[in-house]
Amino acid sequence: MDKNIYIQALEIGTKNMTNGISYNELLEKLNAFGLKPHGEFQKYFHLWFYKKFYYPALFRYINLPSNGGAVEENELEGHDNQFAILTAEGYTEYLDFLKLEQAKIDTQRAHELSMTAIKWSRIAVYISAGMALIQILLQLFQSNNSCH
């Protein structure tokens, strides 16, 4: 299963729900998977982390409708070594991803099974047609033998 940086972060957050994980520790773990935010995306990802991971000092401020989540980068950096816990929203998004992935697998398996069933039904039709032809030929052969 190929995962993007968000799904991988949510998975790591799920595995660390008991004790939490810091932003810097998350970046280290993501880097081990070859996933590292850069440039402007890094700033967005930084803010995303604090929206999906609960850290009391920032959570209310980031999620206040009055400021629209507008937070300066330097306001986040001072908290990057503090442990934060994946929010219910983040956990639900990860579970939804897992369900979607399982649905894809189930759909593929159902398709494979239906193709196998179609193949076997074709074979059954050919066998049935062949048996009917043999039966007709045997009746013709028997009627020819009885006429002689």
Q: What is the pLDDT of residues 2-43, one digit of tens each?
A: 579 999 999 999 999 999 999 999 999 999 999 989 888 988
Q: Tell me how far apart the alpha carbons of residues 47 and 40 are, in angstroms, rounded to a whole number.
A: 11
pLDDT for 82 equals: 86
C-alpha angle with apex 69: 64 to 73, nearest 5 degrees? 130
- Residue in this structure with the two tokens 């009055």, named with its chain if needed: 66
Q: State how far the Cα of 1 lies from the Cα of 97, in Å rounded to an integer.
A: 11
Alpha carbon separation from 76 to 23, 66, 69, 72 (Å, rounded): 10, 18, 12, 7
Q: What is the pLDDT of residues 69-106, one digit of tens each?
A: 555 556 666 778 888 999 999 999 999 999 999 999 99
Q: Quote the pLDDT of residue 1.
A: 43
Distances (CA, A) of 105 to 10, 30, 58: 21, 25, 39
Q: pLDDT tier at 63 (50, 70, 90 boundaries)?
A: low
Rounded to whole angstroms, how far apart are CA atoms 62 and 48?
10
Amino acid, res. 14: T
Give the whole-angstrom CA distance, residue 46 versus residue 17.
19
What are the two backbone dihedrals, phi and then psi, of residue 118, each rounded to the nearest 5 degrees? -65, -45
Which residue in the block uniquely carries the two structure tokens 């998977």?
Answer: 33
Only one residue has tokens 């956990």, namely 91
> What pLDDT was estimated at residue 71?
58
Give CA–CA dist 147/51, Å, rounded: 93
